[in-house]
Amino acid sequence: MKTLDVITFGEAMGMFIADEVGPLYKVKRFTRGLAGAETNVAVGLARLGYDVCWVSKVGEDALGEYIKYALQQEGVDISYIGSDPNPPTGFQMKSKVLAGDPQVQYFRKHSAASTIGVDYLLPERFLSAAHLHMTGIPPALSSSMYGFAEKALSVMKSANRTVSFDPNLRPKLWSSQDRMVREINKFAVQADWVLPGISEGKILTGYDSPEDIAAFYLEQGVKVVVVKLGAEGAYYRTAEIEGCIPGFKVAKVVDTVGAGDGFAVGFVSGMLDGLTIEEAVTRANAIGALAVMSPGDSDGLPSKAQLEAFMDEQKGMEPCSY
């Protein structure tokens, strides 16, 4: 079995991006793309040269075949993607905006990925990877997927593999905010590296400042907490050090969807490369900035050469402030 750098799991969806600005119900033409937080991370890591496997199920339909084809073209290992003849592959529709956050509508209920359960988990495949990247989305999809996520985390932690966790909050997938907070934190405190956005951190911890949000998780055993601050950059903290890394200049914000996934690509790759935490956060900020300058969820994720060129262009950034 091939040795992997990273393994991740979740749901991919077909994405239909509006070709024209305006409300979705008025749009006549769409461009097909790929969506999914964990697939974005898998694609981003693959473009940087890492061996990464994405685990999931798709329907036996055109969108399912497209997802496998698109990931394979990016160099992502798709050997752990099952096909189900009954439930379909989920999809979403996304509006085109001139700047800021687009409108996104999801059609994912009872999708093939949501049927994944503990019996689908192959411990030996997970243990072939050095690192597990998780988000808070799969546990929200179904009770069976929740169990799968629990087992995957347990398998990797018991073998002393590193785990990163991006909350990626989806309130509409949970029965209540209280339950979402409780369940997401249950997973987060078991991870080595936790990567909340500032607004997510406030919801999950009840604290307003990056320092207090980080302290909440460090006190429960997390090794590194990085709080994403949007354009301002990111705050990081461990038991020994803390600091703030400024964001990179963005010529024009085209689409903010996928910025957090790009950030995760940068941080996880930096840590796997043995960079200092400061260097890893700097790389994360750079990829997050590149992500918001492109329309698709993963269009802006760079190759290694593109990343280095972008970072070289912006040396000598202003100090971090928030």
Residue numbers annotated as active site: 261
The whole-angstrom separation of Cα 140 and Cα 180 is 8
The whole-angstrom separation of Cα 86 and Cα 112 is 8
Q: List the Cα angle 260/88/75 in 5-degree steps.
A: 50
- What does the CA dihedral 45, 50, 55, 58 come to, rounded to 10 degrees? 60
The whole-angstrom separation of Cα 81 and Cα 295 is 26
Tokens standing for residue 1: 């079995």
Alpha carbon of 81 to those of 8, 56, 69, 215, 255: distances in Å?
A: 12, 5, 11, 37, 28
- What does the CA dihedral 156, 158, 162, 166 come to, rounded to 10 degrees? 60
For 238-256, b/e burial (b = at least 16 CB within 10 A) is beeebebbbbbeeeebbbb
The whole-angstrom separation of Cα 2 and Cα 279 is 29
| First-residue to last-residue Cα distance in the chain | 46
Q: How many CB atoms lie within 10 A of CB 269?
A: 26
Orientation angle between helical segments 143-158 and 177-188, nearest 10 degrees:
20
